């Protein structure tokens, strides 16, 4: 296995195509491991990893913890609620105290964009960004690319539509960077109020008609409306959003080709996706969850070699 060109996994923007392919190829081998009767390998048995989460998480946190345990690492979980952060301790002091206990790697989620980058420049441990505000979520983009590659093969020339709340999504930006580096064409689709103006500079197509986006794409990656990040109203109501931008099974059946339907979770059923679409034969949403463990095992393993 070749090495990565980086010491930290802070964002897809920092990776080159070879790094991405190396992680995806390594994940293929680890996916075979997690489907064995005995799902553990001793690859990281001398490594201690701290999961430092300053924001709520279900899938990502569980996925990282499972990946670490499958690699035989020692795992420490930290949650900001109930910690000294509530007493006024700074981010750097919190992490330095964790590192003083001889932790080798930090997996971090934070509400502030750039927090993992700030940390990586000031501590000796490897840092993995598990999501920083509305900036990036690199392992989600990697597992999405891995899931697409399983369905479609080489992604060069494939058409991927990212549909929904692009403005508040860290998944969207990481996916755009990752897919473009793998040679795919990317379109974003949603209400004009939820599509940042700068995206046109990244060379992505921009659309506002969901049916046209579905007809154009090979894969539709649907994002939820992130109401918890919205300080103002970007559309009249969830019901109206669902009428104009929601996807249901009838819309998928009307297409003249079969497309792949994805969602990073959690799904708001009845808003961006109807239940019959989310549970249809088009959907690979649960495959994404399974692949998340293999991809995160690959990222942890490769960074531990640096």
Q: List residues forming the annotated binding site for L-aspartate.
A: 87, 170, 224
Kindly state the tokens that stand for 61: 């946190």
**CA atoms within 13 A of residue 111's CA, in its CB half-sphere:** 6
Annotated binding site for carbamoyl phosphate: 59-60, 109, 137, 140, 265-266
Annotated binding site: 59-60, 87, 109, 137, 140, 170, 224, 265-266
| Contact between residue 177 and residue 210 where contact means Cβ atoms under 8 Å apart | no
| CA-CA-CA-CA dihedral for 21, 24, 27, 32, to nearest 10 | -100
Tokens 């330095």 correspond to what residue?
Answer: 96
Tokens 């690959």 correspond to what residue?
Answer: 298
Kindly state the tokens that stand for 242: 């669902």
Helix axis angle, 59-70 to 17-34, nearest 10°: 70
SS3 79: strand
| Residue 58: count of CB within 10 angstroms of its CB | 9
DSSP letter assigned to residue 80 = S
Instruction: Please give the Cα distance from 21 to 196 (Å, whole number).
Output: 29
DSSP letter assigned to residue 232 = S
| Contact between residue 8 and residue 120 where contact means Cβ atoms under 8 Å apart | yes
Residue closest to 116 by CA, chosen among 101, 99, 130: 130
| Contact between residue 47 and residue 304 where contact means Cβ atoms under 8 Å apart | yes
Query: Looking at the DSSP assignment, which residues form a beta bridge with residue 184?
Result: none
Residue closest to 167 by CA, chosen among 139, 137, 192: 192
| Contact between residue 146 and residue 27 where contact means Cβ atoms under 8 Å apart | yes
């Amino acid at each position: 296995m070749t090495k990565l060109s980086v010491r930290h996994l802070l964002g897809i923007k920092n990776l080159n195509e070879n790094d991405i392919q190396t992680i995806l190829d390594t994940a293929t081998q680890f996916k075979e491991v997690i489907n064995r009767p005995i799902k553990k390998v001793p690859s990281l048995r001398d490594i201690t990893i701290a999961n430092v989460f300053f924001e709520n998480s279900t899938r990502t946190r569980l996925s990282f913890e499972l990946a670490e345990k499958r690699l035989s690492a020692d795992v420490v979980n930290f949650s900001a609620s109930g910690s000294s952060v509530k007493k006024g301790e700074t981010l750097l002091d919190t992490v330095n105290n964790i590192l003083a206990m001889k932790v080798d790697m930090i997996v971090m989620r934070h509400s502030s964009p750039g927090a993992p980058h700030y940390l990586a420049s000031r501590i000796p441990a490897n840092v993995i960004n598990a999501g920083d505000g509305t900036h990036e979520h690199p392992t989600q983009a990697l597992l999405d690319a891995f899931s697409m590659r399983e369905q479609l093969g080489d992604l060069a020339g494939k058409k991927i539509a990212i549909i929904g709340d692009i403005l508040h999504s860290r998944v969207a930006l990481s996916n755009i960077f990752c897919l473009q580096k793998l040679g795919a064409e990317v379109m974003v689709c949603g209400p004009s109020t939820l599509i940042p103006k700068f995206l046109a500079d990244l060379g992505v197509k921009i659309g506002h008609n969901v049916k046209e986006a579905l007809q154009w794409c090979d894969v539709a990656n649907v994002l939820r409306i992130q109401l918890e990040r919205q300080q103002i109203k970007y559309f009249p109501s969830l019901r109206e959003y669902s009428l104009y931008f929601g996807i249901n099974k009838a819309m998928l059946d009307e297409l003249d080709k079969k497309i792949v339907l994805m969602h990073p979770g959690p799904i708001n059923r009845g808003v961006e996706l109807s239940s019959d679409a989310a549970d249809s034969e088009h959907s690979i949403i649960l495959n994404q969850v399974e692949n998340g463990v293999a991809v995160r095992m690959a990222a942890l393993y490769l960074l531990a070699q640096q």
